[in-house]
């Protein structure tokens, strides 16, 4: 089974959790597989709240009604991928730059189902460069603070988020206490959000490997 097949298997397994109501939809290549799979059950879904312009476009093509989060709370379930996940269902997200809206939709959802292939599972978060969304004028200020915390921030040039902001990808962090680091980085003035999802971790992690899809519940 190659990585694309594993992503599709994790996405298919997530359908079990989409039983009714409104579904929150994340962003990325694994979520694209989920959106494609959603076609099989779209009759039991009232509509979707999307976390990015890219996912909105794909959901539109499928004919799933799209709702504004302000008119749709609470969401029954949120399905999204991750760049890294640990056994505590804490995540690094934001490789696709959609971390802030993803965090908002995750916070508004009763259940967060995370779908990954087994290359994403790690013991300690941080090998994947940690995305941090920043207000553009604060980019250098935030970068200096992140250096002070032991990281090496790299500006993701030629990329602007759906919210009009910039992304710093922070290398060389070994995130042994994810909830604390999430707070510390969120507290830096100029940070919009950080790609550590630990204070609101996933509730269900579906990990696709060669032997099938493993499920971890929180
Ligand atoms: C986007 C994300 C994605 O969930 C993450 O980057 C994983 O993407 P993929 O499924 O393509 O590996 O956080 O902001």
The pLDDT, as a whole number, for residue 16 is 96
Is-contact 181 173, C-beta < 8 A?
yes
Fold observed for domain 3-122+199-217? Rossmann fold (3.40.50)
| Residue 153 in tokens | 């921030």
On the 0-12 / 13-18 / 19+ scale of CB atoms within 10 A, 157 is exposed
The pLDDT, as a whole number, for residue 73 is 83
d(CA 150, CA 217): 32
Annotated active-site residue in 102, 127, 133, 182: 102
CA-derived radius of gyration, the chain:
17
Is-contact 205 85, C-beta < 8 A?
yes
**CA quadruple 97, 123, 89, 81: dihedral sign:** positive
Q: Which helix (H) or strand (E) holds 158?
A: none
- Please tell me whether residue 105 adopts helix, strand or coil conformation: helix
- Please tell me whether residue 142 adopts helix, strand or coil conformation: helix
Q: What is the DSSP letter of 126?
A: T
In testing the pocket of ligand 1, which one of 2, 5, 6, 82 has its CB within 8 Å of the most ligand atoms? 82
d(CA 187, CA 8): 37
The pLDDT, as a whole number, for residue 1 is 87
Residue written as tokens 């079990």? 16
pLDDT of the chain, 218 residues: tens digit per residue: 899 999 999 999 999 999 989 999 999 999 999 999 999 998 999 999 999 999 999 999 999 999 999 999 889 999 999 999 999 999 999 999 999 999 999 999 999 999 999 999 999 999 999 999 999 999 999 999 999 999 999 999 999 999 999 999 999 999 999 999 999 999 999 999 999 999 999 999 999 999 999 999 99
Residue nearest to atom 7 of ligand 1 (CA): 82
Q: What's 130-195's CATH class?
A: alpha beta
CATH 3.30.70.260 domain locations along the chain: 130-195
CATH 3.40.50.1360 domain locations along the chain: 3-122+199-217
pTM of the model: 0.96
Q: Is the CB of 169 under 6 A from ligand 1?
A: no
């Amino acid at each position: 089974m190659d990585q694309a097949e594993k992503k599709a298997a994790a996405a298919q397994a997530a359908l079990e959790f989409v039983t009714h109501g409104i579904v929150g939809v994340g962003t990325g290549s694994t979520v694209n597989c989920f959106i494609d799979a959603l076609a099989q059950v779209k009759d039991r879904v009232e509509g979707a709240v999307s976390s990015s312009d890219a996912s909105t476009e794909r959901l539109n093509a499928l004919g799933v009604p799209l709702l504004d989060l302000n008119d749709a709370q609470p969401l029954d379930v949120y399905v999204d991928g991750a760049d890294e996940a640990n056994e505590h269902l804490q995540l690094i997200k934001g490789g696709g730059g959609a971390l802030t809206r993803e965090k908002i939709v995750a916070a508004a959802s009763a259940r967060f189902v995370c779908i990954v292939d087994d290359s994403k599972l790690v013991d300690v978060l941080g090998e994947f460069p940690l995305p941090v969304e920043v207000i553009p004028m604060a980019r250098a200020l935030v970068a200096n603070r992140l250096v002070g915390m032991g990281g090496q921030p790299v500006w993701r040039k030629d990329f602007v988020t759906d919210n009009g902001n910039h992304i710093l990808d922070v290398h060389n962090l070994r995130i042994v206490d994810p909830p604390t680091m999430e707070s510390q980085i969120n507290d830096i003035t100029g940070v919009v959000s950080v790609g550590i999802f630990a204070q609101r971790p996933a509730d269900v992690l579906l990990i696709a490997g060669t032997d099938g899809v493993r499920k971890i519940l929180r």
